[in-house]
């Protein structure tokens, strides 16, 4: 029961990301999603009585709900970017596409992977949906910040998949992944500033000097 609520919350947060039209709304929804992800890890920790899972939960909360949103907000504050995300697909249509992905992921988890446990199957369906929608956000929003968040959303989905179907990765692997995400965010921040300085915008659809 508790698990279903957490999974639903996670999915709803993803839908919020899909319909967001402004950068701050996107970051806020990302934070909500990260909180649900850490709740999921907390639940797993409680049910499996694994100390490691509590550490993972804490790390998710600190890294994804506090540090990363902070870095993203710092980016938009420093470069004074317009709030508009530059949607190539409007929110209504995005939501319909998101629902389509959700249904397809459900079919995928149900048929292709043939998981017997219903909760496991639902968790996998949610995680595949989130991976797909993260990708969708990356390709259908013009601002560089949306591409960063899209990628992080994909990683959240993969984290859920890993703990849903295989009971979590080995502990040191999880830690290594956190390190990787941290490095990614730090480095991408540097590049956003560089893009902004040279192009005076962070609109990736207008980056067209390289062709062919």
Rule CB under 8 A: say whether 1 interacts with other proteins. no
The conformation of residue 84, written as its DSSP 8-state character, comes to: B
132 token code pair: 């797909």
Beta carbons of 6 and 46 less than 8 angstroms apart: no
Of the candidate residues 73, 138, 189, 201, the single one contacting other proteins (CB under 8 A):
138
Map residue 141 onto helix, strand or coil: strand
196: closest CA among 33, 79, 31, 41? Answer: 79
Of the candidate residues 167, 171, 189, 201, the single one contacting other proteins (CB under 8 A):
167
What span, in angstroms and rounded, lies between the C-alpha atoms of 37 and 154?
A: 13
Site for other proteins in 71-110 (CB under 8 A): none
Rule CB under 8 A: say whether 56 interacts with other proteins. no
For the chain, what is the largest distance between any 2 Cα atoms, rounded to a whole number of angstroms? 55
Rule CB under 8 A: say whether 43 interacts with other proteins. no
Which region, judged by CB under 8 A, interacts with other proteins, from 13-21, 72-80, 98-106, 150-158? 150-158
In the complex, least distance from residue 148 CB atom to other proteins, rounded to whole angstroms: 8
Give the number of other Cβ atoms within 10 Å of residue 170's Cβ: 9
Interacting residue ranges for other proteins, rule: CB under 8 A: 112-114, 131, 135, 138, 144, 147, 151, 154-155, 158, 161-162, 165-167, 169-170, 173, 176-177, 179-180, 183-184, 187-188, 191, 194-195, 198-199, 204, 207, 209-210, 212
């Amino acid at each position: 029961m508790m698990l279903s609520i957490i999974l639903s919350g996670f999915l709803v947060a993803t839908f919020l990301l899909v319909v967001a039209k402004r950068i701050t709304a996107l970051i806020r929804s990302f934070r909500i999603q990260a909180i649900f992800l850490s709740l999921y890890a907390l639940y797993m920790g409680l049910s499996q009585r694994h100390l490691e899972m509590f550490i993972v939960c804490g790390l998710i909360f600190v890294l994804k709900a506090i540090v990363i949103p902070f870095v993203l907000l710092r980016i938009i504050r420093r470069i004074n970017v317009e709030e508009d995300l530059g949607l190539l697909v409007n929110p209504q249509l995005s939501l319909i596409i998101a629902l389509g992905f959700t249904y397809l992921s459900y079919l995928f988890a149900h048929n292709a992977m043939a998981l017997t446990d219903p909760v496991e199957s639902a968790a996998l369906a949610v995680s595949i949906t989130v991976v797909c929608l993260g990708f969708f956000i990356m390709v259908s929003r013009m601002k560089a910040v949306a591409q960063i968040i899209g990628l992080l959303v994909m990683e959240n989905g993969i984290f859920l998949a890993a703990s849903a179907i295989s009971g979590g990765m080995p502990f040191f692997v999880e830690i290594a992944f956190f390190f990787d995400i941290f490095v990614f965010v730090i480095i991408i921040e540097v590049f956003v500033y560089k893009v902004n300085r040279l192009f005076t915008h962070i609109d990736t659809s207008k980056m067209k000097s390289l062709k062919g």
